[in-house]
Amino acid sequence: METRELTVVAGSFVGFQLLFSVASPPLSSAITPGYGRLPPTKLTEWNSRLVSTVHALIVGLFCLYILWYDDAVNANPVWGDPSLVKLNVAITCGYLLYDLVLLACNWSTMGDSFFVCHHLAALYAYGYVLTRGVLPYFANFRLISELSTPFVNQRWFFEALKYPRSHRLVVLNGVAMAVVFFLVRIAVMPSYWASVFATFGTPEFERLGFGAQVAWITSCIALDVLNIIWMYKITRGCYKVLTGRGGRKVKVEAEASSSLDKKHTNNHTD
């Protein structure tokens, strides 16, 4: 890993920590007085989700820029010049490290062993990108899914502030979440897998080695299976809210879906 990437990882880690502990409380208080009335555990998660939203916007928009304008990566998705992608991945690695520290410090209220395993797996996979510069196009492409994270977090913010589920803003955010989730996680699947299959049998693919090939393909399959399951849950919950059906059962399903999505929205392993 080059000095630049290490600096970005460290800088992101410190920056996200400062955003969580220094910037989020006064900013959130200025945005809504309801922030100050939340219990301590919810204040911690609020600040955490605000950081998550900022990270998602930075990485997601940077991802789109790379997809549209980085000709070297688009021309050779397996071994193209990974400079910009490594920068984007380094930001995400800094966020993952910050989030692991946050979990460790608040284990009694936020601890989740699955979440920790997911973060460690993500750091391991992105380590390939940072150290070997492999699969830059595919690593970056997956980060486009971060664009659905702000809507997931916004739903939690509304619930924390006790907005009724029938409130216009809640309904509009729910519909937007479902639409964006579909666009950045489901609709892109054919294009993504067409690019994957196009590399099979090429010298670039063989150069990866068996270990990287297996890690890449299996993680992609697992992630897309989860995305399809979550899309189904989000669509069903959105439909029931729009039609006024389901009552408490819908709320439980929606919260379960939100919890699952939070665990995988913010960080990806491929």
pTM given for the model: 0.84
Q: How far is CA 100 from CA 43, 46, 50, 112, 129, in A?
A: 18, 16, 16, 10, 20
When pLDDT is cut at 50, 70 and 90, the band that residue 237 belongs to is confident
By CB atoms closer than 10 A (0-12, 13-18, 19+), residue 102 is buried
Orientation of helix 149-160 relative to helix 247-265, angle to 10° = 130
pLDDT of residue 74: 87
Residue type, 97: L
pLDDT of residue 246: 53
**pLDDT, greater one: 263 or 28:** 28
Q: Computed over its alpha carbons, how large is the radius of gyration of the chain?
A: 19
pLDDT at residue 238 is higher than 60: yes
**pLDDT, greater one: 124 or 136:** 136
Instruction: Extract the tokens encoding 241.
Output: 């809210």
CA dist 176 and 178 (Å) reads 5
Kindly report the CA angle at 39 between 34 and 44, in degrees rounded to 5?
A: 95
Secondary element (H or E) of residue 262: helix 247-265
Orientation of helix 247-265 relative to helix 113-132, angle to 10° = 30
Q: Is 270 helix (H, G, I), strand (E, B) or coil?
A: coil
The domain locations on the chain are 3-266
pLDDT at residue 266 is higher than 80: no
